Amino acid sequence: MSTRSVKLVSGEYFHIYNRGNGKHKIFLDEEDYDRFEKILYVCNSDKNFNFRDSIVDIKIEAFDLERGTPSVSILAWVLMPNHFHLFLISPRQGLGEDEKNNISIYMQKVSTAYVMYFNKKYKRTGSLFEGKFKAKHVDKENYFNYLFAYIHLNCIKLIQSDWKKNGIRDKEKAENYLKIFHHSSFQDYFGNKRKQEKIINKNILPFHIKRVNKDKLFELINVDLDQS
């Protein structure tokens, strides 16, 4: 078993991300995005749920499920055609060895549930993701601020692929696209109220981030950090 270079320490913030094997798409239609979003919510629990048994077969809304105590607290998330980003923290209690802690258990649940759904739907076999999820420790305030902005602005690369390197050329166009892109927590902070808001935990945000508005995001992203 390979050892992580970054220890998933309890009570600390982490940037969690992964992409499709060979950079292939992991979301092919709206149903795929919808399923992953619901999995992010349902799997974040101290209980074990089988998505088909607990949600699909008994025909309930996933976001209405009484899931019990969350394993992690998610601050921000985004789903892109071939990858995803999560910004989260695990509680200080209930953590064991690195390979068995709350973050690892949660991500294993998410990955397993989605791969089973995806492979069955598209009649495929084998790995979907490019190895195990990646993790970066968010241990500095400027990285915290940057990451919160980066995840929420990430979808801009769908209309301007070089925005991160060269800056956003058309801010008005970018803002308009953010309003119609629904596969991130941007809507839950800066848009209309919806059920996906249950994925995140706004209560754990630092006070200075709670005061951030849409315009401030464009300022926070302009930090000299070499982060993906």
Does residue 224 register a pLDDT over 60?
no
What is the residue extent of each domain of the chain?
A: 13-220
Does residue 153 register a pLDDT over 90?
yes
Contacts (Cβ under 8 Å, ≥6 apart) of 144 = 13, 138, 206, 209
Confidence (pTM): 0.90
User: Which pLDDT belongs to residue 80?
Assistant: 98
Of the two residues 104 and 58, the one the predictor is more confident about is 104
Residue range 13-220, CATH number: 3.30.70.1290
User: Which pLDDT belongs to residue 54?
Assistant: 65
Does residue 228 register a pLDDT over 70?
no
* Interval 53-97: pLDDT, tens: 667 666 678 888 888 899 999 999 999 999 999 999 988 654 444
Strand ordering across the sheet containing 134-138: 73-80, 83-89, 13-19, 134-138
Burial pattern 83-98, b for ≥16 Cβ within 10 A else e, equals bbbbbbbbeeeebeee
* Interval 177-204: pLDDT, tens: 999 999 999 999 998 899 999 999 999 9
